[in-house]
Amino acid sequence: MNPVTKHRLIQDIFFSLQTSHSMKEMVSILSGYGITNESVNDYTQTEIKKLLATASDKVLILIADDLKIDTSNYVIQEKGKGRTTTKPKEKFLKKVFVSHSSKDKDVVTSFVQILEVIGILPENIFCTSLEGYGTGLGNNFIEEIEARLDEDVLVFFMLSDNFYKSPMCMIEMGAAWAKTKSQISVAITPFQLGKIEGVFKHFQGIQIDNELHYDMLKETLEAKFGLEPKRPLVWGPKRNIFLNMIKQQLNGK
């Protein structure tokens, strides 16, 4: 596995683990796979990624499989007696589907704008309550949702009390669970990641008003969509504009 590909896999593993585990718990989990470093006493994102970087490709693939991360882009297959290795051509995701309650429209709109800052094109984003991002006039709503969901789609579940009370969100959840492989949960404060139950707790997740989570999300989307990374001096200010907007919307200002 080349260094760039390994870095992407480490990002996916870390992002998945942090959804439901503390940094200290993550170190304990990694020790179960034989990944240890007794000198680590500062349980930070950087230190844990360094730990993961010491693991062999085989162990990283094993961890990813256990976390139900799609490893088809990372597996290296051996062919012939000469042990010539070939790596499948990377298959990037192409589209985003944002499943949400219409009652959370304002904060979801700001979230979608952050996705565009990261590099997701507007025409590749499907978000039903936003004009220009949803179904066309006269189209069957449920049929169009099902038609747009396939293995090339990353689904964001915008979780809130409103989401769980919406019959349409439950329909979208069922369709996405059956037809897609990549999902990320976004907890809309005051709803918290730690309170997620059912199938959602197994998805990668972020808190919608957490700055660190957006930095991890940016790196994950860059890897999954094959995006050109935004430079920190470009990304930081734009992220903060919409993050501050989200915080104001959550506070009802």
Q: Each residue of 182-201: pLDDT tens digit?
A: 889 899 999 988 776 655 55
CB distance 50 to 28 below 8 Å: no
> How would you label 193-219 residue by residue, b for 16+ Cβ within 10 Å and e otherwise?
beebeeebeebbbbbbbeeebbebbbb
Going by pLDDT thresholds of 50, 70 and 90, the confidence category of residue 225 is: very high
Q: How many beta carbons lie within 10 A of that of residue 170, not counting itself?
A: 13
Structure pTM?
A: 0.67
Q: Where are the alpha helices (DSSP H) in 94-185?
A: 105-118, 141-148, 161-165, 167-179
pLDDT at residue 81 in the model? 46
Average pLDDT of the residues in 13-39: 80
Mean pLDDT value across residues 193-214: 76
Lookup: tokens for 249: 């919307």
Question: Cβ contacts of residue 25 below 8 Å, gap of 6+?
Answer: none
More confident residue, 83 or 123: 123
* pLDDT for position 78: 43
Each residue's pLDDT tens digit, 6-23 = 888 888 888 888 877 778
How is residue 29 written in tokens? 């989990």
* The predicted structure's pLDDT at residue 246: 96
Cβ 187 vs Cβ 218: under 8 Å:
no
For the segment 15-39, the average pLDDT, to the nearest whole number, is: 79
The pLDDT of residue 89: 56
Q: What is the mean pLDDT of the chain?
A: 81
Question: Residue 116: which residues within 8 A CB-CB, separation 6 or more?
Answer: 122, 125
Q: Tokens standing for 168? A: 């349409």
Do the Cβ atoms of 69 and 16 come closer than 8 Å?
yes
Classify burial at 131, counting beta carbons within 10 Å of its beta carbon; exposed 0-12, middle 13-18, buried 19 or more.
exposed
Residue 127 structure tokens? 């978000």
Residue 187 near residue 159, CB atoms below 8 Å: yes
pLDDT tens string 86-144: 455 567 888 899 989 999 999 999 999 999 999 999 989 988 777 767 555 444 455 66
| Token code pair at residue 195 | 């309170």
% of the chain with per-residue pLDDT over 70: 80
* Residue 109 neighbours by CB under 8 Å, 6+ apart: 130
> Is 93 or 36 the better-scoring residue by pLDDT?
93
CA distance from start to end of the chain: 49
Average pLDDT of the residues in 150-157: 84
How are beta strands 77-79 and 84-86 bridged, if at all? Answer: antiparallel
- Alpha-carbon distance of 210 to 165, in angstroms, equals 24
